[in-house]
Structure 1
Amino acid sequence: MRLAILVAGLPLALGCAASAVQAQPAQPPTNAPGIFSCVDAYGRTITSDRPIADCLDREQRELTPSGTVRRRLEPSYTAKEQAEREERARQAQIAAAKQTDERRRERALLMRYPNDATHERDRAEALGQIDAVIQSARKRQGELADERKKIDAELEFYRNDISRAPPALRRQVEESTQSLGVQNRFIGEQEEEKRRVNQRFDDERTRLRQLWAPEVTRK
């Protein structure tokens, strides 16, 4: 009797199982072909069952049948385009490194010169050192000028005709001329160095005023 009840209920159980299977939505196989999608140069969205030729220069997305992104395809470049792309990346790296270096110099400048007084003190010290060198050079210039007066006095004996002067005196005239020329050029170079130092400090002060401004604002 029990066996008969079990056998009789078997078709009903099978029917319920079949209904349950039919009620579940079909799941696409994981290796189902994807759908490729991109936005072309004209702003149009294009879809295809294979990579899209009109979007080789831009990113494409491969979507699963359910619409999720399976993968992203990077743009394809010609050799020239790739070289240009790499050059742009290189220039961007150079610019970023330059900016980082500039920020580092600014921090060092602020640490060295926290205010205007320290900056002007360094300017005065740098210019003072150059002035000391110029003063020493001018002293030597005066000594050479005195020596030349003595040489010229001897040359008057020969009516200032260098060709009639003895070899030793002519050599003195030549050496004196060269020494005075060297000393004059040296003093000129030091005066030019003073201008460069002043210009450097002027440029630094202009930048420092911009860097000091936030400090003043916070105070």
Structure 2
Amino acid sequence: MRVLLVAGCLLACTAWAQEAKPGKGIYTCTTADGRKLTGDRPIPECTAREQRILNPDGSQRATLPPFLSPEERAAKEAADRRAAAERIAQQDAIRRDRTLMQRYPTEAVHQRARNSALDDANKALRISERRIKDLGQERKPLLDEAEFYKGRPLPGKLKQALDANDAGVEAQEVLIENQKAEIVRINARFDAELARLRKLWGGATPGSMPPLNELPKSTPATTPKH
């Protein structure tokens, strides 16, 4: 048992020595029972307690933390990683807020950006709506021709033209639904940005608010079957 204890102390001292600054120093600590110990190297009796490292003139050079077991060291490293990740996330939040304010210094600038983003979606929507009207016009003569074959199979060419017209209408309807979803997504994004910007313009500290929720991208409607 004594051998194991000595080996544990030696391992602890070795770990401490790796963490301590190079150069001679005076190690001092107070044990759990109140004894004050001093030595020229890490003190085995204080493996679980903090030790001060003093210069020859008595000034404090450094502090040696309590020796950690492998489990404790792993937990500390995990906590350090979490803290580092939180610091990085906070720095990113500050950077994003500052970038947002630089991009949109006023509400008028933000509104112009919204209008520009909506303009592209609205143009695509109008193009699809016009195309559906054109396809409706193209379908009329096909339907008139099909009246001659009422109760009989349609000629292959005529049937193919009607099927292509149906597929074209269905494709444009899918595009219209997608553009409508995109307009909703754009407005939701700009609404969330504007609410945040108003707080930042009002003096809120960048990075002090919860992050903007990740808004889902518009989900394409079902691809039409041809």
Query: What TM-score, normalized to structure 2?
Result: 0.65
Q: Determine helix, strand or coil for the equivalent of 2:66.
A: coil
The CA distance in 1 between the partners of 2:199 and 2:99, in whole Å, is 15
Relative to structure 1, the CA distance from residue 61 to residue 165 in structure 2 (aligned partners, 3 Å threshold; closer, same or farther) is: same
Q: Determine helix, strand or coil for the equivalent of 1:72.
A: strand
Q: Determine helix, strand or coil for the equivalent of 1:159.
A: coil
The CA distance in 1 between the partners of 2:107 and 2:61, in whole Å, is 61
1:75 aligns with 2:85: no
Partner of 2:183: 194
Q: Answer with 1 or 2: which has the greater Rg.
A: 1
The 5 Å alignment of 1:70-149 reads 72-149=63-140
Relative to structure 1, the CA distance from residue 200 to residue 35 in structure 2 (aligned partners, 3 Å threshold; closer, same or farther) is: closer
Q: Which has the higher helix share?
A: 1
Relative to structure 1, the CA distance from residue 138 to residue 34 in structure 2 (aligned partners, 3 Å threshold; closer, same or farther) is: closer
Relative to structure 1, the CA distance from residue 34 to residue 104 in structure 2 (aligned partners, 3 Å threshold; closer, same or farther) is: closer
The Cα shift of 1:89 comes to 1.7
Deviations 1:167-192 (A, max 9, x none): 21222222222211111111111111
Between Structure 1 and Structure 2, how many residues are aligned?
177
The CA distance in 2 between the partners of 1:133 and 1:155, in whole Å, is 33
CA contact (8 A) 2:27 2:51 kept: no
* Higher deviation after alignment, 120-129 or 196-205: 120-129
Partner of 2:11: none
1:184 aligns with 2:179: no
Deviations 1:45-88 (A, max 9, x none): 665574336x53x5333679x98757633333333332332222
1:170 aligns with 2:163: no
Deviations 1:182-206 (A, max 9, x none): 1111111111111111011101101
Larger relative contact order (CA 8 Å, sep ≥ 6): 2
The CA distance in 2 between the partners of 1:71 and 1:77, in whole Å, is 18
Partner of 2:44: 51
Query: What TM-score, normalized to structure 1?
Result: 0.66
The Cα shift of 1:140 comes to 1.0
Relative to structure 1, the CA distance from residue 106 to residue 51 in structure 2 (aligned partners, 3 Å threshold; closer, same or farther) is: same
Relative to structure 1, the CA distance from residue 80 to residue 158 in structure 2 (aligned partners, 3 Å threshold; closer, same or farther) is: farther
Identity of aligned residues (%): 32
